[in-house]
């Protein structure tokens, strides 16, 4: 932790370590005031929307995620900068999330992962199809996957995906086991693995998959139910043992399907995050059960921007949310106008 950590950031760290539901709103308001004072682009955005103070956490304006491609949205010089993976507009237009310290990110990933992916085990043999941090230091997903192996990987865990693609020798070795196996991967990497298998491999009972999604916008698209069926047919891993993970570079927290804990594909929020569906035209929160753009108020983002409006469509319920995919361009008009407000007069 850096020597001059602001009090609001320290409070966010304590909340992540010892969550208290009643403290969420006052802490969110405290962090908002800190970010308004130290994050000039975000302050300008709020000013354009006529907001200088917030009455409750839902009135803290969520910033469109695309703004991370245009502005430096940190409150102090970053120690580490994570970049989004999109390259269609060139590397200069990749979103960047600069963190003055990794303290909050490091604190936020472990408990949700343990609860939703390894609720029944202390350690497990892990096969990661996510390149390691050494090969992709700009990837927040690689950072987390590396920490997962360090913290929860049993002997024989390995990274079987790198800049050169799949590492077949490591995959063959990992599959030659009588112990349950946890596979970490994007949907794209998992599809590549399934295509590379010469024949089905029935992994031991208890094996599971953490699937981070990621097909959207790629040339190859596979429906989720089809992919789940392929996991069972080719790997012997039933749908109930496949846990979806949802995260984004612009956030410091992740979400998981509660599949291993209850028979549902809804994503669960960590106790330090609140999620709402937002009307794409008015940018106002919608009631539970209505479809809109997902916005997340993440206390672990205390160093940068607390509230982030995504380009993902979903429905939020009192006990979690359903992710329906990316919004078409027509539904992002409100986000585009909001981003123009941010850039106006810069």
Residue 102 has pLDDT above 90, yes or no: yes
Q: Assign residue 77 a region: left if phi > 0, alpha if psi is -120 to 50, beta otherwise?
A: beta
Distance CA 301, CA 73 (A): 11
Tokens 């794209």 — which residue?
188
Distance CA 323, CA 284 (A): 19
The two structure tokens encoding residue 341: 């407000």
Please, what is the angle between helix 168-175 and helix 187-196, to 10°?
A: 80
What is the per-residue pLDDT for 88?
45
| Per-residue pLDDT reduced to its tens digit, 207-230 | 999 999 875 544 344 577 889 999
User: What is the pTM (predicted TM-score) of this model?
Assistant: 0.90
Higher pLDDT, 269 or 339: 269
Max Cα distance, the chain (Å): 62
| CATH architecture of residue range(s) 110-252 | 3-Layer(aba) Sandwich (3.40)
Which range in 25-29, 195-199, 319-323 is most confidently predicted, on average pLDDT?
25-29
Check: CB of residue 175 under 8 Å from CB of residue 125: no
| Exposure on the CB side of residue 25, measured as CA atoms within 13 A | 7
| Per-residue pLDDT reduced to its tens digit, 104-133 | 999 999 999 999 999 999 999 999 999 999
Element (H, E) at 321: strand 320-326
Distance CA 280, CA 286 (A): 10
Q: What are the backbone dihedrals phi and psi of residue 128, each rounded to the nearest 5 degrees, phi first?
A: -100, 125
Please, what is the angle between helix 24-38 and helix 40-48, to 10°?
A: 100
Mean pLDDT over 255-264 rounds to: 84
Domain limits of the chain?
7-77+273-343, 110-252
Residue 249 has pLDDT above 90, yes or no: yes
SS3 label, residue 344: coil
Question: In which band, very low, low, confident or very high, does the pLDDT at 89 lie, cut at 50, 70 and 90?
Answer: very low
| Per-residue pLDDT reduced to its tens digit, 294-310 | 999 999 999 999 999 99
């Amino acid at each position: 932790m850096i020597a001059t950590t602001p009090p609001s950031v320290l409070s966010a760290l304590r909340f992540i370590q010892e969550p208290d539901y009643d403290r969420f709103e006052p802490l969110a308001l405290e962090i908002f005031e800190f970010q308004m004072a130290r994050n000039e682009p975000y302050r300008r955005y709020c000013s354009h929307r006529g907001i200088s103070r917030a009455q409750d956490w839902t009135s803290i304006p969520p910033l469109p995620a695309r703004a991370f491609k245009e502005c430096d949205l940190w409150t102090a010089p970053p120690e580490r900068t994570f970049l989004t993976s999109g390259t269609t507009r060139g590397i200069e237009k990749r979103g960047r999330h600069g963190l003055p310290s990794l303290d909050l990110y490091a604190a936020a990933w472990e408990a949700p992962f343990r609860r939703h992916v390894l609720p029944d085990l202390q350690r497990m043999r892990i096969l990661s199809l996510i390149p390691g941090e050494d090969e992709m230091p700009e990837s927040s997903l690689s950072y987390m996957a590396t920490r997962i192996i360090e913290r929860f990987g049993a002997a024989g865990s390995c990274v079987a995906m790198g800049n050169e693609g799949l590492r077949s020798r490591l995959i063959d070795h990992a599959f030659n086991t009588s112990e349950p196996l946890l596979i970490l991967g994007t949907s794209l990497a998992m599809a590549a693995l399934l295509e590379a298998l010469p024949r089905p491999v029935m992994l031991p009972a208890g094996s599971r998959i953490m699937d981070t999604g990621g097909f959207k916008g790629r040339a190859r698209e596979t429906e989720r139910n089809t992919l789940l069926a392929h996991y069972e047919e080719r790997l012997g891993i039933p749908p109930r043992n496949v846990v979806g993970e949802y995260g984004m570079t612009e956030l410091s927290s992740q979400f998981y399907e509660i599949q291993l804990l209850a028979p549902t594909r809804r994503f669960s929020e960590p106790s330090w995050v609140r999620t709402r569906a937002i009307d794409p035209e008015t940018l106002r929160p919608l009631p539970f059960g209505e479809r809109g753009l997902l916005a997340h108020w993440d206390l672990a983002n205390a160093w940068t921007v607390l509230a982030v409006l995504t380009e993902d469509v979903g429905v939020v319920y009192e006990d979690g949310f359903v992710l329906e995919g990316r919004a078409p361009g027509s539904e992002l008009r409100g986000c585009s106008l909001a981003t123009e407000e941010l850039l106006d007069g810069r």
